[in-house]
Structure 1
Amino acid sequence: MVSSGILSKAAKSFGFDVETLAFISNSTNEVYRFSKNDSQYILRLSEKSFDYVNRINAEVHWVRYLAENGIQASLPITTTDGELTAVYNENEKWVIATAFQMASGIFFDREPGMWGPSLFHQWGELMGKIHSLTKSYNPGDLSLKRAEWGPAILDNPHLREGSYRILLDKLQSLESLISSFPKDEKSYGLIHYDFHPYNFLIDQGKITVFDFDDAIYGWFALDIGVAAAHAVWWGSPKHDRKSKREFATRFLNEFLTGYLKQNSLETYWIQQIPLFMDYRNISSFFWWLSSWDGDEGHLSEFQKSAIANAVERIQKGLPFDGCDIQL
């Protein structure tokens, strides 16, 4: 957790009373809510190296572009000096602060009746519009450019041993295939890369998307695959393989109907979506285990079960549940 000194500096940078801060979460970033002029905002604090500042500036620059062109997104606000970010140094660590208007609405699981074809259709339509706008987006300043997709860099030696090696081989096999895919402006551009159901709120039937922190240059079909994989994780009515396959098919039929209203995508790329879903599933293990110390006793029962099931599927030559579909 950052110090009270950093929080006070952030309050001064964005012009709000530090006493209004309320902690929300601490995973990839520390996230707080604050009040200013009777409105609610989000403060995001990222402990990164100093050279990461340009990447975050690139993120918020793109989000502002999308919002200015009709995307319902949580709009970044500037500091009192008119900057998109504020940067602080404390104890030889850099903290990068950004602030956003707080999206209105509720998550999909607050009202179960919202989770269905209409929402899937709108979700797809919003992503299609983002991808369409991406094609004409030019950051201008080369420093305002997000990273390109690339194979994962894994520094944890424990993930190269025993059954974890099976997971790694699966990941690297998919990465090798993905690396061979062509790139062109019709299929590849700046994508959200984490547009899952807990990264948007719904207000009177309208979606507001947020958390563009993972945005990269990648394939549009990859962005769709990420959304679909998460939809199956959290939204399939049952958890057996058959039910997940049926749900994935229904979800993507609705999602793509909305998507294709806003952005065209060749059949070849639509057919790759299950592969990208499989890739997202296997990648999740390496996100969970990135700082694992090799002690299996430190894994949750959920993680142990998920890993065992994944290894069994891979050894049988099966994709993950919900990814065994054809489009």
Structure 2
Amino acid sequence: MPSSVLRADRVHEIERLAQRALERYPPALRGSAALICLSENATLRIDTRSGSRYVLRLHRQGYHSPAAIESELAWLRALDEAGLEVPRPLDGVDGSALQLLELANGSIQPVVMFEWIEGDEPHPDEDLESSFIRLGELNARLHAHSRGWTPPAGFLRPRWDHAGTVGADALWGDWRCAPWLSAAGREVIEQCIVTISARLTDYGEGPQRFGLIHADPRLANLLIDGASTRIIDFDDCGHGWFLHDLASALSFHEHHPKARRWIDAWLEGYARIGRLEDDDLAALPSLIVQRRLQLLAWTGTRRGTDPVTALGPGWVAETEALCRRYLGRGDPLKAP
């Protein structure tokens, strides 16, 4: 069967599952379901007869446990109570924000519904400096909240340290399994891994440097609405270096000619709320390369999918070049 037909069948299957999930929610939250994104999770837009709009997330089975999803929701509620504009989870008819559907094969499908947030996903070829300023400020507010918040008992989220991002057993896979890697590139990346590990070990995991973070505020997880920049999709939130959030903001575009300007803009916004020391800035190149290699590992676990095919061998070659610049002059970005 042609892949396009398979994709259409898959979309229909997801949307049918969404309709079943909607039965767990009050009638006012039910409506038509349209798939808007299929990545780690399936994300659908729900349009009700009254004209209201919501987001339904069907979690990728086996990626996060129910306890980990409940922990994400606990932080979102705390952020919302603190006045930060984040996705707000909605309760089902049983009063729980996390719904667990038992499928015909006996597996469990976690489901969460959120209020709709207006905005458009930014594109790297747009003028993004003002958006990165606002993103830096928003990240600083998230980090300040993280440092002062005491998670509830049983709080469970991934650990995005060196081993968790680029280790052999990293959550997103082993970078060695990535497609299109050259033999010379593998050798360079191996050297990078050793160098990054040493530098981040020296940097350390003190409470002003390492804590609960969003961990994936890339362009696809931002919504721009006029002068507002909002972060969505806290599905990968976990414990990591605070500047991992800046490295993640560049995701897939670390080699872009404007990347240095985006970093400067983010730092400008961050400085309005938070404070970074020279040691933090010195660790940033290592965190940028580490994030890029985490994404490289991600491509290996999704060989043949449309997103990885769209990246292509050129993106992997740029990754190798980025690593060479990091090893050669300590700066992975292209010269201004």
The question of a shared fold, defined as TM-score above 0.5 by the shorter chain, is answered with yes
Task: Flag the 1:67–1:265 CA change in 2: closer, same or farther, 3 A.
Answer: same
1:71 corresponds to: 84
Deviation of 1:291 (Å) = 4.1
TM-score if structure 2 supplies the norm length?
0.79
Aligned counterpart for 1:285 among listed residues 293, 296, 307: 296
**What amino acid maps onto 1:189 in structure 2?**
G
Give unmatched runs, 5+ long, in structure 1: 237-243, 294-298
1:10 corresponds to: 21
Deviation of 1:166 (Å) = 3.3
Aligned counterpart for 1:218 among listed residues 237, 240, 249: 240
The 8 Å contact of residues 139 and 145 in structure 1, kept in 2 or not, is answered as: no
Task: Flag the 1:249–1:70 CA change in 2: closer, same or farther, 3 A.
Answer: same
The 8 Å contact of residues 166 and 311 in structure 1, kept in 2 or not, is answered as: no
Secondary structure at 2:159 match in 1: coil
Aligned counterpart for 2:143 among listed residues 101, 109, 131: 131
Could you say what the CA RMSD is over the residues aligned between the two structures, in angstroms?
3.3
Task: Flag the 1:281–1:104 CA change in 2: closer, same or farther, 3 A.
Answer: same
The 8 Å contact of residues 171 and 282 in structure 1, kept in 2 or not, is answered as: no
**What amino acid maps onto 1:104 in structure 2?**
E
Deviation of 1:65 (Å) = 1.2
Aligned counterpart for 2:58 among listed residues 45, 50, 72: 45
Instruction: Render the CA deviation track for 1:231-271: whole Å, top value 9, x for unaligned.
Output: 656xx4xxxxxxx2xx3333222221211221222221122
Task: Flag the 1:77–1:320 CA change in 2: closer, same or farther, 3 A.
Answer: farther
Structure-2 separation of matches of 1:256 and 1:10: 41
Structure-1 separation of matches of 2:291 and 2:204: 19
In the alignment, is residue 117 of structure 1 matched against residue 129 of structure 2? Answer: yes
1:108 corresponds to: 122
1:269 corresponds to: 280
Structure-1 separation of matches of 2:176 and 2:262: 38
Structure-1 separation of matches of 2:175 and 2:124: 37
Give unmatched runs, 5+ long, in structure 2: 1-9
1:304 corresponds to: 313
Aligned counterpart for 1:21 among listed residues 22, 30, 33: 33
Aligned length: 307
Structure-2 separation of matches of 1:249 and 1:61: 35
The 8 Å contact of residues 190 and 215 in structure 1, kept in 2 or not, is answered as: yes
Structure-2 separation of matches of 1:304 and 1:230: 13
Runs of 4+ in structure 1 off by over 6 angstroms are: none
Structure-2 separation of matches of 1:162 and 1:227: 27
The 8 Å contact of residues 177 and 297 in structure 2, kept in 1 or not, is answered as: no
**What amino acid maps onto 2:56 in structure 1?**
L
Aligned counterpart for 1:140 among listed residues 136, 152, 157: 152
The 8 Å contact of residues 121 and 219 in structure 2, kept in 1 or not, is answered as: yes
Secondary structure at 1:31 match in 2: strand
The 8 Å contact of residues 160 and 239 in structure 2, kept in 1 or not, is answered as: yes
Secondary structure at 2:97 match in 1: coil
The 8 Å contact of residues 178 and 299 in structure 2, kept in 1 or not, is answered as: no
Structure-2 separation of matches of 1:179 and 1:170: 16
The 8 Å contact of residues 57 and 85 in structure 1, kept in 2 or not, is answered as: yes
Deviation of 1:182 (Å) = 1.6
The 8 Å contact of residues 74 and 101 in structure 1, kept in 2 or not, is answered as: yes
The 8 Å contact of residues 29 and 47 in structure 1, kept in 2 or not, is answered as: yes
Secondary structure at 2:208 match in 1: coil
The 8 Å contact of residues 134 and 189 in structure 1, kept in 2 or not, is answered as: yes
Deviation of 1:184 (Å) = 2.2
Task: Flag the 1:4–1:323 CA change in 2: closer, same or farther, 3 A.
Answer: closer
Instruction: Render the CA deviation track for 1:183-236: whole Å, top value 9, x for unaligned.
Output: 222111110111122212122311221011111111111112221455656xx4
2:68 corresponds to: 55
Structure-1 separation of matches of 2:45 and 2:330: 37
Structure-2 separation of matches of 1:116 and 1:292: 30
1:323 corresponds to: 333
In the alignment, is residue 83 of structure 1 matched against residue 92 of structure 2? Answer: no
Task: Flag the 1:4–1:100 CA change in 2: closer, same or farther, 3 A.
Answer: closer
Aligned counterpart for 1:184 among listed residues 206, 209, 214: 206
The 8 Å contact of residues 167 and 282 in structure 1, kept in 2 or not, is answered as: no
Structure-2 separation of matches of 1:230 and 1:308: 12
Structure-2 separation of matches of 1:175 and 1:193: 18
TM-score if structure 1 supplies the norm length?
0.81
Structure-2 separation of matches of 1:121 and 1:325: 22
Instruction: Render the CA deviation track for 1:66-107: whole Å, top value 9, x for unaligned.
Output: 122121212111212111210122213221101111111223
Secondary structure at 2:272 match in 1: helix
